[in-house]
Amino acid sequence: MIPRPDSHAYDAALAGTAFMDRPDRAWIVVSGNDRRSYLQGLFTNDIEALTAGRGCYTAYLTPQGRMIADLWVYELGDVLLLSVAREVKATILEKLDQFIFTEDVKLGDVTENFAAIAVIGGEAAAVLSGIVAVDRATLEALPEHGSLRAEYAGQPAIVLRTTDTGVAGYDLLVDVGAAASLRAALHASGAVALNAATADAIRVQAGVPKFHVDMDEDIIPLEAGIQARAISMTKGCYVGQEVIVRVLHRGHGRVAKRLVGLALPEDATPARGAEIRAGDKAIGTVTSVAWSIALGHPVALGYVHRDFVAPGSRVSVDGYDAVVRSLPFDAPVIR
């Protein structure tokens, strides 16, 4: 059975304001004068180009081009703040630390210092402006991956512009002891709490892959379709670049499999890991499944063989007919 999203929270996340905790995220501080140049040679995006208040989405790869993690990098002006999946935090810290030699770089794990709450939706800036000491226009002017320092309940806070939930919004980082108060303030301001099923439905509908769900250490960014957002084509060398360049230029971007959307019939109930087939041939695997309120039927993300990535391709999932769709799926609607 596919969990059904909460329609009230779904509508709030699109046109109003919704919020949810981010327990899946970990937070790493990178300080020192060499922080950007150090990460420039490790991550796939242009870290050195970041200025105060700017950020980017990036990936950290092995020399073979496989993903160690995807990350969000925010230049706060005096430090870089990294947002990573919590389960890969220890790996990231260990790998980053082992390459520091004479560079002026220090790493800090601040995950347990912060409570992170996502505030999303069309009216998110209006609600957030009444909670932190920042006006609505300033919040709305923040570019994607932008950041600013703010204040909540008399204590320092950090506002990050985000899109990884599937809807544009903000992550608000406050002192961990202020989490309950912040949730209450958001609720009092009219924001609606998002449950896991609704949040995942919005993410899948938007075609946003999640690490250790839709991507893992066996995937290269081109297979997951994140290269346009995560990889700079103009910067200098980074770990794994040779593989990426070879695939893009010599292989014309052809990879063995790609992440696609799958439209499923209303009665379909596949789970993550379900086999995708074309006739009697296994061609891939489902990674995420959710019920789409906008479309009125289940949708999924999954990897299929490159011969079946074209939108409109007919496949089957757990015996149910399915159709390959481009991502994101058709634009969500508010009922």
Q: DSSP string spanning 270-309?
A: --TT-EEEETTEEEEEEEEEEEETTTTEEEEEEEEEGGG-
User: What integer pLDDT is reported at residue 124 of this predicted model?
Assistant: 98
Q: At what angle do helices 7-15 and 196-206 cross, to 10 degrees?
A: 50
Instruction: Identify the pLDDT of residue 161.
Output: 98
Contact 299, 287 (CB under 8 A): no
CATH code for the domain in which residue 43 is found? 3.30.1360.120
Q: What is the mean pLDDT of residues 310-321?
A: 96
Which of 202, 221, 243 represents a domain boundary (last residue)?
Answer: 202
Q: Are residues 181 and 270 in the same domain?
A: no
H/E element, 75: strand 67-75
Q: Is the pLDDT of residue 236 over 70?
A: yes
For the cut 80, the answer to whether the pLDDT of residue 252 exceeds it is: no
Query: Is residue 265 domain-resident?
Result: yes
- Pick the residue with more confidence: 324 or 254? 324
Q: Give the pLDDT score at 330.
A: 79
Calculate the CA 38 to chain-centre distance.
23
| Residue 261 and residue 189 share a domain | no
Domain holding 293, by residue range, is 256-335
The mean pLDDT of 160-170, rounded to a whole number, is 97
Average model confidence (pLDDT) for the chain?
95
- Give the per-residue SS3 of 194-222: CCHHHHHHHHHHHCCCCECCCECCCCCHH
On the question of pLDDT at 221 being above 60, the answer is yes
Q: What is the pLDDT of residue 133?
A: 87
- Judged against a pLDDT cut of 80, whether residue 253 lies above it is answered with no
Confidence of residue 331 (pLDDT cuts 50, 70, 90): low
Residue 182 lies in a domain: yes
pLDDT digit string (tens) for 104-142? Answer: 999 999 999 999 999 999 999 999 999 998 999 999 999
Q: Which pLDDT belongs to residue 204? A: 97
The predicted structure's pLDDT at residue 250: 76
**Over residues 70-98, mean pLDDT:** 98
| 269 & 168 share domain | no
Q: What is the pLDDT of residue 251?
A: 73
Q: What is the CATH number of the domain that holds 295?
A: 2.40.30.110
Whether 209 is in a domain gets the answer: no
Residue at 207 is within a domain: no
Residues 14 and 149 in one domain: yes
CB contact set of 69 (below 8 Å; sequence gap of 6+):
59, 60, 84, 85, 88, 91, 92, 211
Contact (CB, 8 A) for 180 and 117: no
pLDDT over threshold 80, residue 332: no
Residues 279 and 198 placed together within one structural domain of the fold: no
Query: How far is residue 84 from each of residues 57, 80, 91, 182, 279, measured CA to CA in Å?
Result: 11, 13, 11, 23, 39
Same domain, residue pair 265 and 190 = no
| Residue-by-residue DSSP string for 17-36 | -EEEE-TTEEEEEEESTTHH
Structure tokens at 48: 């050195």
In this structure, how many other beta carbons lie within 10 angstroms of the beta carbon of residue 167? 25
Please give the tally of structural domains in the chain: 2
Band of the pLDDT at 189, cuts 50, 70, 90? very high
Q: Is residue 63 part of a domain?
A: yes
Mean pLDDT for 256-261 is: 97
Query: Looking up tokens 């084509």, which residue turns up?
Result: 233
**232 found inside a domain:** no
Q: Give the H or E element holding residue 55.
A: strand 55-61
- Spatial CA neighbour of 67 closest among 200, 213, 274, 248: 213
Task: Quote the pTM value.
Answer: 0.95
Residue with tokens 């020399």: 63
Regarding whether 172 and 274 lie in a shared domain, the answer is no
pLDDT tens sequence across 136-163: 999 999 999 999 999 999 999 999 999 9
DSSP three-state, residue 147 = strand
What are the tens digits of pLDDT across the range 18-59?
999 999 999 999 999 999 999 999 999 999 999 999 999 999
- Claim to verify: residue 276 and residue 185 sit in the same structural domain: no
Closest CA to 248 of 237, 234, 260, 233: 233
1 band by pLDDT with thresholds 50, 70 and 90: confident
- Give the mean model confidence (pLDDT) for residues 309-327: 96
Q: Compute the average pLDDT of residues 281-293.
A: 97
Q: What pLDDT shows up at residue 335?
A: 45
Q: Is there a single domain that holds both residue 194 and residue 293?
A: no
Q: What is the DSSP letter of 104?
A: -
